[in-house]
Amino acid sequence: MYLDSDNRPPITPQLAFRVAVIGGLALVMFAVVFFRLWYLQILSGDKYLADANNNRVREIKVEAPRGVVLDREGRVLVDNRVGLAIKVRPDEIPPAGPERDALYERLGKALRMKPRAVEARVEQQLKVQPFVSATVKQDVDFGAVSYLAERASDFPGVEPEAVFLREYPHEEIGAHLFGTVGEVTEKQLDDSRYRGVSLGDRVGQSGIEYSYDRFLRGENGKKRVQVDAMGVKTRDLRETESRQGRNLRLSIDLDVQRVGQEALGSSRGAFVVMHAKTGEIVALGSSPSFDPNIFAKVIRQRDLKALSAEENGKPLFNRAIQAGYPTGSTFKLVTAVAALEGGLITPDTPLFDGGSLQVGGVTFENAGGVAHGSLALRTALTVSSDVFFYRLGLAANNQGDGLLIQDWAKRLGIGRLTGIDLPAEGQGLVPTPAWRNELYKEDLTDRPWSVGDNINLSIGQGDLSVTPLQLAVAYATVANGGFVPRPHLGRRIEDADGRVLQEFEMPTRRRAQIQPEFRNAIMDGLVGAANAPGGTSTAVFQGFRIPIAGKTGTAEKGLGRADQSWYAAITYPEDPQYVVVATDEAGGFGAERAAPMVRQIIAALYDAKDDGPETVGSVVD
């Protein structure tokens, strides 16, 4: 049977509309697919090709070696050495669970580490810096690296990396000066001084390494390599070389630094050798010291704790610039300047020393109960009369606002930052009535300020807290006629061939107005203390070929603790060259311990053969 086309029903408007809609939708869908394919292949083809290449091209950071640190003669103080580190990439290791645990197990066996130690080290670093490769072990031997490379598929995300490790060839000598380096923290990245640094980069964290980091830090390079589907390198592509940091030359003399450290020995103490006019630091040390080479690797927490423990002497603590102490009679230089400039005495004003002074029912005595009779400033400094300076402390307390000694202490650099180019310097403390009265108000001390506090201050006792560096600045200021030097270690920046790139200008000095006749009288007294009959350190420096002026100090600590020994010396007092300060926290009288140390250091400073004093001074201070 045949259908008659002429008898077909006509298409209704509704059906025609539906056909048109369906056809339009089909056309739109076809157009979308067409334009999407066109977009992907024509417009975005290069991008996806690059992404595909990136899946098999890896960019590896090439760490830049830091600059070398040299002493004033060009001898190497801090160097670099190349080591191999094993690192774990957080984006490639298995997720937390059995697979990752198994990886740690295999890695621990390969590196001769406990799996728990591997896990703890990696997870701790990833917790702090989740997007940076974690260092499992540094200074890995080549055999272990080869083993891991040959079995790369068994160690996903594990890769060796050549790193430059800091090397300190002189170990404990100068450790507090040089400081340490470590990976930059997220907080540090917000600091403008770390512009251009990325997570994982190593920067200076303390000492000179921190202060001059922008010069010592180099510029990292990068290497592009092609890898296969297993992550194994197939070929090198392109490399941008790293640029080593600049070399830093210091004012430090290695020989003097070594002798100073040896003179301190195992004692808890410090020493400073500084140019009296320029503030250049020739040597500065603290004891006990430490070997900074341990920080070149990943330091263990127990080692760090031991280096900070009080029972071990807190080896990381730089006593030369951070520790505050009473200074004993070395502070008499400050009291002398204050009394002269404040009009309490003239250089020739006689005061009577009967061996003791009674004030408000309290008796203040000379060390050893010695009575010196009537004497003026020069002799008072030579024999270190306590009673002479007690009288000055009493008079200063009763004059004006009672802050004459405190004001001059601050002018001479005591109780304020010296500005040395090392971080974490301590400020110290010069006690005042307001300071103690505030403590009393807050129930932090048992009594308010009294005249006895000022009397004790006059001889460097009581609540006074001074760093050895601050004392050196005060002595240098008087020695050079009133210019307060700003201590500094950095001399210049050099390239690898020793060419000078930048000289550091001598920091601006403050001026403390000291009348020449007053300065001369004080210097005469210090010369007598080291050379004249009856001088507190004459026996120590008898026969010494280097002319010096000096002052002993014995700070009493009470509570059954040993006295602290101090000595401050000025070489060639007629035209002052260097100030040398040394202290031993438990050394006893200044002439017994600190003065012989200073003699050793000065002999090294002038390269003078010296067998030391025949006898140690017996005059108490």
Q: What is the rounded distance in angstroms from the CA atom of residue 530 to the CA atom of residue 538?
A: 4
Same domain, 158 and 143: yes
Same domain, 230 and 273: no
Sequential DSSP letters for 459-508: TT-TT-BB-HHHHHHHHHHHHTTSEE---B-EEEEE-TT--EEEEPPPPP
Pair 245, 277 in one domain: no
Q: Pick from 230, 250, 270: which residue ends a domain?
A: 250
> According to the model, what pLDDT value does residue 69 have?
98
pLDDT (0 to 100) of residue 468: 98
Backbone phi and psi for residue 63, each to the nearest 5 degrees, phi listed first: -65, 140
Q: Is residue 35 part of a domain?
A: no
pLDDT of residue 426: 97
Give residue 464's domain range: 254-486+508-605
621 inside domain = no
Looking at the structure, tell me whether residues 305 and 445 fall in a common domain.
yes
> Considering its fold, how many domains does the chain have in total?
2
Neighbouring C-beta atoms of residue 288, cutoff 10 Å: 20
| Contact in structure between 396 and 402 (CB atoms under 8 Å) | yes
Which 3 state secondary structure label does DSSP give 37?
A: helix
Enumerate residues 6+ apart whose C-beta is below 8 A from 398.
Answer: 451
pLDDT attached to residue 598:
98
**Other residues' Cβ atoms within 10 Å of the Cβ of residue 120:** 13
- Bridge partners of residue 252, in order along the sequence: none
Is residue 620, in this structure, part of any structural domain at all?
A: no
The answer on 541 and 411 residing in a single domain is yes
Residue entry with tokens 């045949």: 2
List pLDDT tens digits, range 352-396: 999 999 998 999 999 888 999 999 999 999 999 999 999 999 999
- 15 belongs to a structural domain: no
Helix (H) / strand (E) containing 274: strand 269-275
Write the CATH number for 268: 3.40.710.10
Assess whether 142 and 269 both reside in one domain. no
Same domain, 515 and 536: yes
The helix (H) or strand (E) run that includes residue 510 is strand 510-511
In a domain, 30, yes or no: no
Q: Mark whether 192 and 259 lie in a shared domain.
A: no
Q: Is 246 part of a structural domain of the chain? A: yes
Partners of 19 in beta bridges: none
Same domain (yes/no): 242, 267: no
Same-domain pairing of 414 and 537: yes
Last residue of a domain, one of 226, 250, 274: 250
pLDDT at 89: 84
- In a domain? residue 500: no
3-state DSSP assignment of residue 365: strand
The greatest distance separating any two alpha carbons of the chain, rounded to the nearest whole angstrom, comes to 154
Of 187, 220, 250, the residue that ends a domain is 250
Residues 6+ apart with CB under 8 A from 523: 478, 479, 549, 570, 573
Q: Say what the pTM is.
A: 0.84
Helix (H, G, I), strand (E, B) or coil at 199: coil
Contact 389, 364 (CB under 8 A): no
Question: Which regions in the chain score pLDDT beneath 50?
Answer: 1-3
> Is there a single domain that holds both residue 320 and residue 235?
no
Using the CB atoms, write b or e for 451-464: b if 16+ within 10 Å.
bbbbbbbbbbbbbb
Residue 143 has a pLDDT of 87
| Alpha carbon distance 291, 288 (integer Å) | 10
CATH code of the domain containing 162: 3.90.1310.10
Q: Is residue 27 part of a domain?
A: no
Same domain membership, residue 565 and residue 600 = yes
CA atoms within 13 A on the CB side of 553: 32
